[in-house]
Amino acid sequence: MRRVGFGTEGRFSRMRTYLDLLRVPSAARLLGGTLFGRLPNGMGALAVLLTVRADGAGYGLAGVLSAVYGLATAAGQPVLGRWMDRRGQTGVLIGSAVVSAAAYGVFAVVGVYPLPVAVVVVLIAGFTTPPLEAGLRALWPSVLTQERVQAAYALDAAAQEILFTVGPLIVVLVTQVASAQAAVWLTGLIGVAGTLVVATSAPSRRWRGEAHTPHWAGALRAPGLRVVLLAFTLAGTALGVLSVAAVAYADREGSDALAGVFLASMSFGGLLGGLAHGVVAWRSAPVARLSWFLLGLTVCYLPLVAVPGPWLMMPLAVLSGLFLAPAIACSFTMIDELAPQGTVTEAFAWLVAAIGAGSALGMAVAGWAGEVGGARGAFLAAGVGAGLGLLVFLVGRGRVISNVIHFEGITDPELSRNGTSAA
């Protein structure tokens, strides 16, 4: 992987890129509002699980309803993303946030019984989660210069690691201080508050998708995009696996707190990796970098299989997170270039859905692997998932490259988005 070298002065200069980015009008508001509004992504499943348990139901039903919520969230993102490409951001974001919050409220009042009602409102709460993540990535090119867009992608990917540490902590704290139902209420209200910060901003109100003739397949008609999505679905299973494997490891060591420490350490590694990726002046193309990042992700998961004591396990957890944010940031650039005209928000939303669906699948796989091989088997499953994602991307790499080259040379406005090559 080739990159431009730079000394100490160059490193500080590149680090200032983040500060300069946040000084751009509306940039800090958009990033901060999106991160705050996406806290429910890290809160919802746990809030549902704790509420079900508070109503006296078992872990089996609690797990099923949490999985329903996660899969509904993944399914709703591309649907709402396509709607935003056609109708603009403001109405879709605010409308979906309000509906989702209302569903959270009903669930907080009704609880798990009657069960059909609980299933329906959990489905609605997840499916109508506002697509803030995809919307922000669609907004960046209209707010920032091209150089700063790449830094914004890196900062976005790095900062989202905080969500999955802070979100669950908020739920646990509110549950202990008040109740699980209060945590459900708060999840919905935070989603509305963060969404309003973004949706009422001038860039969001002005933004409109590129003119295009709707196609039933939407963004998925780009073959290179399908390759990237499948690769991240498989790699995303590792995230679900690790959330379960962390609990198995904590049980093995006899300390429940170690599960949270492990996941926080992994998120810290992702934060470091994402920030570092954004300050390097990369010369290699995104498609080449992503191959290396997925390889790094796979290799760094494998040492976890040794399941050493906590003093060694936590540094390994930091190491395991280093390549995740760079891989995601790299995929942002590729998706922006692969998406057919007028489908950019939907394309980004598909990536969110792919990782979410993979994570849900990973939780199921980890349960089976943990039964067979304990914590060691669960951690091995994470490495296998990342490795399969790498294999899919390497096999389909030619389609990704030809997809971009095809877009560059074509004059059909239904397919051509821009003239920037990812190859």
3-class DSSP state of 282: strand
Query: Which of 416, 418, 415, 403 shows the shortest CA–CA distance to 224?
Result: 403
Answer yes or no: are the C-beta atoms of 300 and 140 closer than 8 Å. Answer: no
Backbone torsions φ then ψ of 211, nearest 5 degrees = -60, 135
Terminal C-alpha separation, the chain: 14
* H-helix or E-strand spanning residue 83: helix 59-87
DSSP string of 294-355? HHHHHHHHGGGGG---HHHHHHHHHHHHTTHHHHHHHHHHHHHHHSPTT-HHHHHHHHHHHH
Residue 25: which region, alpha, beta or left (left: phi > 0; alpha: psi -120 to 50)? beta
Please count the other Cβ atoms lying within 10 Å of the Cβ belonging to residue 169.
14
Q: Alpha-carbon distance 124 to 239, whole Å?
A: 24
pLDDT one-digit tens code per residue, 326-348: 998 888 888 878 888 778 888 88
Backbone torsions φ then ψ of 173, nearest 5 degrees = -65, -45
Q: Alpha-carbon distance 166 to 157, whole Å?
A: 15
Q: Alpha-carbon distance 315 to 300, whole Å?
A: 11
Q: Alpha-carbon distance 355 to 41, whole Å?
A: 12
pLDDT, residue 411, reads: 41
Residues 308, 158, 50, 114: is their CA dihedral positive or negative? negative
In percent, how much of the chain has pLDDT > 90?
A: 38
Length of the chain: 423
Q: Alpha-carbon distance 10 to 5, whole Å?
A: 9
Backbone torsions φ then ψ of 3, nearest 5 degrees = -150, 160
- Alpha-carbon dihedral angle through residues 391, 161, 150, 97, given to the nearest 10 degrees: 110
pLDDT one-digit tens code per residue, 12-69: 555 677 888 888 999 999 999 999 999 998 888 888 988 988 888 876 788 788 878 9
pLDDT, residue 340, reads: 82
pLDDT, residue 406, reads: 52
Query: Which of 300, 10, 36 shows the shortest CA–CA distance to 162?
Result: 36
At which residue do the structure tokens 């379960």 appear?
A: 244
DSSP category for residue 219: G
Answer yes or no: are the C-beta atoms of 237 and 362 closer than 8 Å. Answer: yes
3-class DSSP state of 4: strand
pLDDT, residue 214, reads: 62
Residues of the chain with pLDDT under 70: 1-15, 59, 211-218, 256, 367, 369-371, 404-423
